[in-house]
Structure 1
């Protein structure tokens, strides 16, 4: 009688081992397929997420950039021209990418043309405004002078991130568009209790209060919406770029390098900003020089100091 177990025990173990190896191989193949699928799904998910992020960033950028639109009416020269009776000259809106149309100086040489390039956050602009606005208003009201005010925003990054210069200039453009004969009063009012550089400046609601306090009574709802919407901010930026790149028409300077820049009959004023007598003397001198080269003969109506 043979010693040991059943005669087929070894083959059975061998078959079991072979079966186990086959099963393990199948599991490995299956796992590799699953890993490849997961990798594909992961890469696809990452690609989708990346596309979503790109789209989101693009939307944020697009929404943060205001499309170029027409400028305000009555500022086709990039400034508001105010004449006798403090009436603002009417002009059509400047279309996107259109060149400004310089205002024409008085052909007789008898009227002083004063041009002011101002930033509503500029403290020197406030000094000049405080010292000279009353006499300029008298000259312009009587017809002895015109004043053309160009709001620009070269200090837009000096207000704790609120871009006050840009918003204030936009507000002035809103007034010029909807209530042009109130532009001079509103522009002057922006310099009263002027915010300091590096401060946030006035909020939009506070700018709207200045509109009301300065005596603007026409189209208040439209002006307020214009301020909130930043309707003319892209135009202000374009006008600022034009002034700082130059050329400055009908003047002896190439570009605006700081504010205030004050031109009288095209000549830059370099005297004291807070001395009204010195400025009045300069206006008379510039007016006299212009008149002496004019071919017309009327007696010039020079502004009184």
Structure 2
């Protein structure tokens, strides 16, 4: 009899095969655990990177937004009030969140109180300005009227993305702040050189050129910097919102619903914007009962 025949080797081979299978299974399980750990670590790393990038973006955005500063000087009522001799009434700048201080109409009732809310991209505003600017200037020069001009920007999105309406109103506020005596002329020239609605409008360099054309000599560098930085952007947006939401002071008109909104002694003018005779008649009608014969009286412009 031979000890250790062929049949005795099978248990050994089966045992070896089972051992290999067990080892392979254990290896696969360890590999799966390792893969899971790697995936978790990768996701965690990506999340951390995402959070870091988001934090950087937030910091950049915050740093790029200038803090809300005070409004322009000489516009405490949200407008520039121009009185006898074309002299602007000077006022201090309003601090952020401060409420506008409405200007007081002439207490004697002998001076017409004209208020104009206008957008520098508004074609109808340009028509009114072209027809009536000269005679309004004559009335104010002689003391027969005051005029208060409120720049608003309700057409900001009508200039191919350049926000011309907002930039022009900001420029007007810059001039009011640094060269108020030139405000009326700058206001007029913005309408004389008005771009068409829907176009890009004037760039900042062109607006600076209009500042010079308006006769500004002092404070030009500060005005140019104010235009570049859109210093009064927040104020323009806030004052426009106030005009649209109301109430409008010294009138029963609750708020502007479009531009131009023209008020004379609190009454809204709804006549032809390009007819100076009709507007002059409205001024006389609105203020005639309170006028004294000893004071200057607005006269209709002569026929062309």
**TM-score of the aligned structures, taking structure 1 as reference length:** 0.91
Residue 13 to residue 117, structure 1, CA distance change in 2 (3 Å): same
Say whether residues 1:189 and 2:189 are aligned partners.
Answer: yes
**Which shifted more, 7-16 or 181-190?**
7-16
Say whether residues 1:214 and 2:214 are aligned partners.
Answer: yes
**Counterpart in the other structure of 2:137:** 137
Residue 260 to residue 64, structure 1, CA distance change in 2 (3 Å): farther
**Counterpart in the other structure of 1:294:** none
CA-CA distance at 1:201 after TM superposition: 1.1
Say whether residues 1:25 and 2:25 are aligned partners.
Answer: yes
Distance 1:186 1:193 in 2: 10
Distance 1:117 1:207 in 2: 20
**Counterpart in the other structure of 2:274:** 274
**Counterpart in the other structure of 2:237:** 237
Query: Are the equivalent residues in 2 in contact too, given 1:110–1:298 (CA < 8 A)?
Result: no
Distance 2:182 2:59 in 1: 38
Residue 256 to residue 122, structure 1, CA distance change in 2 (3 Å): same
Look up the SS of the partner of 2:274 in the other structure: coil
Which structure 1 segments of 5+ residues have no match?
A: 292-296
Distance 1:299 1:58 in 2: 65
CA-CA distance at 1:282 after TM superposition: 1.3
CA-CA distance at 1:51 after TM superposition: 2.3
Query: Are the equivalent residues in 2 in contact too, given 1:250–1:266 (CA < 8 A)?
Result: yes
Look up the SS of the partner of 1:191 in the other structure: helix
Query: Are the equivalent residues in 2 in contact too, given 1:79–1:150 (CA < 8 A)?
Result: yes
Query: Are the equivalent residues in 2 in contact too, given 1:153–1:169 (CA < 8 A)?
Result: yes
**Counterpart in the other structure of 1:302:** 297
Look up the SS of the partner of 2:31 in the other structure: helix
Look up the SS of the partner of 2:191 in the other structure: coil
CA-CA distance at 1:11 after TM superposition: 5.0
**Counterpart in the other structure of 2:121:** 121
Q: Superposition pairs for residues 143-162 of structure 1, below 5 Å?
A: 143-162=143-162
**TM-score of the aligned structures, taking structure 2 as reference length:** 0.91
CA-CA distance at 1:52 after TM superposition: 4.0
Q: Superposition pairs for residues 161-176 of structure 1, below 5 Å?
A: 161-176=161-176
Look up the SS of the partner of 1:114 in the other structure: strand
CA-CA distance at 1:48 after TM superposition: 2.3
Let me know the Cα RMSD of the aligned residues.
2.2
Distance 2:9 2:178 in 1: 105
| Deviation digits for residues 236-263 of structure 1 (CA, Å, limit 9, x no counterpart) | 1100010110101101201011100011
**Counterpart in the other structure of 2:225:** 225
Look up the SS of the partner of 1:146 in the other structure: strand
Look up the SS of the partner of 1:99 in the other structure: coil
CA-CA distance at 1:54 after TM superposition: 4.0
Number of aligned positions between the proteins: 300
